[in-house]
Amino acid sequence: MPRRFSSADPDFWARVEAYFTVPRATEDDVRGAVENIISDVRARGDAAVREYTQRFDGFHLQEDDFRLSDAEIDAAADKCEPDVREALAVAAGRIQSFHRKQLPEPESYTDDAGVILGARWTPIDAVGIYVPGGQAAYPSSVLMNAIPASVASVPRIAMMAPMPDGILNPDVMAAVRLAGITEVFPVGGAQAVAALAYGTDSVIPVNKIVGPGNAYVAEAKRQVFGQVGIDMIAGPSEILVVADGHNDPTWIAADLLSQAEHDADAQSILITDDAVFAETVVEAIDDLLTTLPRADVARQSWQSNGAVIVVDQIGDAVSLVDLIAPEHLELALAEPQDFADRVRNAGAIFLGRHTPEAIGDYVAGPNHVLPTSRSARFSSGLNVLDFMKRTTLVTCDAESLNKIGPSAVTLARAEGLDAHGLSVSIRLDAKDSDSGAGA
């Protein structure tokens, strides 16, 4: 059964902190296995990738370049059902529109000393996106990971996705065609991350890797960080619903199960000020679990990681939200804005009774790749800036250097870095500043 907490209990905060600050993911010993896979891919390239794909996904990659051809992608995408294709187009359009508004402007100004300062933004040269595909197909993840990169004008976007038995999912391939992806490889797991990071004969290495995956993928991203950039180490999915007693309990039950059905380590939390309502939601969850195709997964998640928290007043829940720092925060309240304004730690916030979190997974527009495992305390969801680099620009002339240079010389000497100071002082009061000649 889900954990129960009440703010009336004398040890309430101690119990809450003890429960919600402990990682939920199963502590599998994957580090060594991932180290071996990465080392093998670095040493043997395509041959290693083929062997792992055969072992884990049950098919042998073609012997030459195992990148999917345009014809293969098109043939699979053509099998996508018209209604799914239309829905993907709606989602792609909304995601693109939202992310276009994140594009930064270059900066340039002259300060009081006459120094010209500024910054410019340039896209990363090559990005790899990882799309999960073991237990289910996720075309929405294709759109969410690739479209911000495309909006940022990344010229090369390579996708890795496991395709068990070598079967190309039509919905995923249709999403590929909408998302601006330039290369697709039917490869998953740590071997996919290693190939993107270090390259093989078939895979040109990238500069950054984004996208969620299982424990092996997450560990692989951790290990290749530094060789390439990464977006985040994604953990199990989370939802926290703050709801008063005026909601339909079945609606809230469905919202909680929308994340529980992801995997057994996912977490669904209800915070309410109505104990009777809380019990009706729990009952509604039990009823819905008799109807869902993924009921076994959702039930295990709910029973192992679910939580119901009853507070005296809804306003008291803000501090709980900030402690938990959920990936998804749903505010099923009549007036949610004031509550949202006071929250500091949440990946994404969904306001009002008619804004289920699931709308954000598909068509709302903001990205559904969000910080998990309390990392919303210090990080943000995937966005266009994740695919761009900011370079600062400084321009001094002789006059402005003479104004600010002496302070630089003083600080350099204080730090014992005389060559630093000399590189500035040698230019101060120069007679021929245009030619660079010294006094």
Which residues share a beta bridge with 3? 307
User: Is residue 283 annotated as part of the catalytic site, yes or no?
Assistant: no
pLDDT at residue 436 in the model: 47
pLDDT of 95 reads 98
What letter does residue 316 receive in the DSSP assignment? G
CB 215 within 8 A of CB 373: no
Q: State residue 235's pLDDT score.
A: 87
Identify the pLDDT of residue 429: 80
Q: Give, rounded to a whole angstrom, the gap between the first and last alpha carbons of the chain.
A: 82
How are the residues of the chain apportioned to helix, strand and coil, as percentages rounded to the nearest 5? 45, 15, 40
Q: How many CB atoms lie within 10 A of CB 108?
A: 12
Say how far apart CA 370 and CA 389 lie, in whole Å: 20
Instruction: Output the furthest CA–CA distance in the chain (Å, rounded).
Output: 87
- Choose, from 262, 328, 330, 368, the residue flagged as catalytic: 328
Alpha carbon distance 337, 346 (integer Å): 14
d(CA 111, CA 116): 7
pLDDT value at position 84? 98
Q: Are strands 328-332 and 307-310 parallel, antiparallel or unpaired?
A: unpaired
Question: Residue 334 CB: number of other CB atoms within 10 A?
Answer: 9
Q: Which pLDDT does position 25 carry in this prediction? A: 58
Multiple choice CATH, 396-439, 3.40.462.20, 3.30.70.980, 1.20.5.1300, 1.10.1740.10: 1.20.5.1300
Question: Are 3-21+235-378 and 45-107+123-230 the same fold in CATH?
Answer: yes
Strands (E), 361-435: 388-395
Let me know: does 150 contact 118? Beta carbons within 8 Å.
no
Do 116 and 108 touch, CB atoms closer than 8 A?
A: yes
102 CB-side CA count, 13 A: 23
> For this structure, is 328 an active site residue?
yes
Assign domain 3-21+235-378 to its CATH superfamily. Answer: Nitrogenase molybdenum iron protein domain (3.40.50.1980)
Cβ contact 280:378 at 8 Å: no
Q: Which residue has the tokens 């709302």?
A: 364
Architecture of domain 45-107+123-230: 3-Layer(aba) Sandwich (3.40)
* Successive 10-residue mean pLDDT values, the chain, 439 residues: 93 94 71 96 97 94 91 97 98 98 98 98 98 85 98 98 93 97 97 98 98 93 98 93 98 97 94 98 98 96 97 95 98 97 98 98 98 96 98 97 98 98 93 48
Tokens found for residue 321: 């939200």
Task: Identify the active-site residue in 327, 330, 357, 368.
Answer: 327
3-class SS of residue 37: helix
pTM equals: 0.93
Cβ neighbors of 428 (< 8 A, separation 6 or more) are 401, 402, 405, 406, 409
- 23-29 long-range contacts (CB < 8 A, ≥24 apart) are 23/235, 23/373, 24/235, 24/236, 24/265, 24/267, 24/305, 24/373, 25/215, 25/235, 25/236, 25/265, 25/373, 26/215, 26/265, 28/215
Looking at residue 438, its pLDDT comes to 43
Q: Where are the domains of the chain?
A: 3-21+235-378, 45-107+123-230, 396-439
DSSP per-residue letters across 133-192:
-SSS--HHHHHHHHHHHHHTT-SEEEEE---GGGPPPHHHHHHHHHHT--EEE---HHHH
